[in-house]
Amino acid sequence: MGQAGAQAMADLLVYANKAAGAARAAGAQALDGTTLERIVCWYRGGVAKGLADNQRRRTQAARDGLRLARRFGRHEAMILRFATDLAVAFTNNQSEVRHEVARYEWTHRKEGRPMRSAV
């Protein structure tokens, strides 16, 4: 994906995360149809832009962008699951949570500060 395509995809994911968070906070079971349709169309447009921008280019960046756009296209349902199923968080990577706790504790131990209890 070129810079414009990558930025568009990043903007989309931020927008979708905010929309899903607002819907969860409002107690909704799902995003409204208009918002979800906008997210899906934006997503597919970003994939199409990434494919179009990187076709017939021979640089390593173009090959990487094309590979990324193809993967985004193949894994649409998985990537947008947090927007289509509000029970799924934007990120549910528990290893990242444990890593953050371990880093926090290591930093505090190194600096001689008291540690909080594990999350």
For the residues 83-87, what does the mean pLDDT come to?
92
Whether residue 59 sits in one domain with residue 9: yes
pLDDT at residue 119 greater than cutoff 50: no
pLDDT at residue 22 greater than cutoff 80: yes
Whether residue 65 sits in one domain with residue 54: yes
For the residues 89-99, what does the mean pLDDT come to?
67
Whether residue 107 sits in one domain with residue 84: no
Reading the block at residue 113, the tokens are: 């500060």
pLDDT at residue 41 greater than cutoff 90: yes
Largest CA distance in the chain: 57
What pLDDT, on a 0 to 100 scale, did the predictor assign at position 7? 86
Handedness of CA 27, 33, 35, 39 (dihedral sign): positive
pLDDT at residue 112 greater than cutoff 80: no
CA distances from 53 to 11, 22, 40, 115 (A): 18, 33, 20, 49
The three-state DSSP-derived secondary structure of 6-46 is HHHHHHHHHHHHHHHHHHHHCCCCCCCHHHHHHHHHHHHHH
Q: What is the number of domains present in the chain?
A: 2
What pLDDT, on a 0 to 100 scale, did the predictor assign at position 1? 62
Q: Which domain holds residue 30?
A: 3-88
Whether residue 97 sits in one domain with residue 57: no
Whether residue 97 sits in one domain with residue 81: no
